[in-house]
Amino acid sequence: MKRFDPMFWFGVSFLTLLVLVAVFGPMGSAGHNAIVADPYLGPSAQHWMGTDELGRDIFKRIAYGARLSLMIGLSVQALSLLIGITAGMIGSFGPKWLRVMVLRFTDGMFAFPDILLAILIIGVWKTGVEPVIVALAVTSWPGITRLVVTQVASLRDRE
């Protein structure tokens, strides 16, 4: 990889901007759903992206959405890493009967289509953000488990 790859720095800049907007953008007196002005106002110093058909500030709504998206993404990754690394370590260092059971369950999870399993989890659970986080984490941990088991086996073979 080149030291000054422009696509890398574009990605870093975009993610930094997204995090800054998500953290500092929604700050202000009115919430993201508050009617703050007349409908369909154009961009101005007070409303950077204008207002929508109900008079809500579009920039604040985008910033709130970015905050929610980042929170969901980080939560899903943290939960799936926790489950995947734990299952991978059990699948590598546990007793043989437990290793076989964990790895077979992991293989079985690969048999289900991710989207159908996520829809099932969200459909059974109540509405909200938590079912989305759990559904996405449950469908993404098997790959992490397989990676951990493979890397541990590779490190064992080196010794």
pLDDT in tens, 47-92: 889 989 988 888 888 888 999 999 999 999 999 999 999 999 999 9
Does residue 91 form part of some domain? Answer: yes
Q: Tell me the C-alpha distance between 54 and 64, whole Å.
A: 17
Structural domain span for residue 128: 6-158
Q: Answer positive or negative: Cα dihedral of 3, 6, 11, 17.
A: positive
Does residue 145 form part of some domain? Answer: yes
Does residue 63 form part of some domain? Answer: yes
- Domain total in the chain: 1
Name which of 54, 49, 1, 53 is nearest 25 in CA terms.
Answer: 49
69 Cβ neighbours under 8 A, 6+ residues apart: 22
Residues 110-158 pLDDT 10s: 998 999 999 999 999 988 999 999 999 999 999 999 999 999 999 988 8
pTM of full prediction above 0.85: no
Does residue 99 form part of some domain? Answer: yes
Does residue 1 form part of some domain? Answer: no
Q: Tell me the C-alpha distance between 29 and 32, whole Å.
A: 10
